[in-house]
Amino acid sequence: MQKNVVKWAVAVVFFGAFALAIGVLLYQIPPSAKETEEANKNTLTIVASNFAFDQSTYEVKAGSTLTVQLVNKQGIHGIEIEGLDVQLQGDALSQEVTFDQPGTYTIKCIVLCGEGHTEMVATVVVA
């Protein structure tokens, strides 16, 4: 009887450790570099804070179709890309855009976000 209890306890501990190991392994496997690269290649992320964008110029390859995504890191902002039919604000913070016309386009904040609002300007260069 005593022996069975010990065996059972060992089995439980062993199984627990095994499950934990599998969990850790699964959790730590990062998405492959290739997948991450693919996702990055198809997304143009614009990060906004008070009162600037993370880059003054965003470069895009002419003819490409990208998901333009606005991330509000600090404050609440929205963007418009003048000359392209792009407006991101509120709940609609991403949009698929085809950049077929080479040129320089102005990105500006379209949400009255505070005293630095008018300084929130950047450009997208499509080439």
Residue from 46, 88, 109, 124 touching Cu ion (CB under 5 A): that is 109
The yes or no reply on residue 117 touching Cu ion (CB under 5 A) is: yes
The yes or no reply on residue 113 touching Cu ion (CB under 5 A) is: yes
Residue 63 contacts residue 99 (beta carbons within 8 Å)? yes
Q: Which is nearer to Cu ion, 45 or 49 (CB)?
A: 49
Q: What minimum distance in Å lies between the beta carbon of 49 and Cu ion?
A: 11
Q: Which is nearer to Cu ion, 31 or 114 (CB)?
A: 114
List the interface residues with Cu ion, window 26-65 (CB under 5 A): none
- Interface region with Cu ion, contact rule CB under 5 A, candidates 17-25, 34-42, 86-94, 109-117: 109-117
Residue 51: what residue type? F
Contact residues for 53 (Cβ-Cβ < 8 A; gap 6+): 46, 47, 107, 120, 122
Contact residues for 25 (Cβ-Cβ < 8 A; gap 6+): none
Q: Which is nearer to Cu ion, 55 or 64 (CB)?
A: 55
How many Å separate Cα 101 from the centre of its chain? 25
- Interface region with Cu ion, contact rule CB under 5 A, candidates 25-33, 53-61, 90-98, 113-121: 113-121
The angle at the Cα of 16, spanning 15 to 17, to the nearest 5 degrees, equals 90
CB atoms within 10 A of CB 71: 13
Residues that bind Cu ion (CB under 5 A): 109, 111, 113, 117, 120
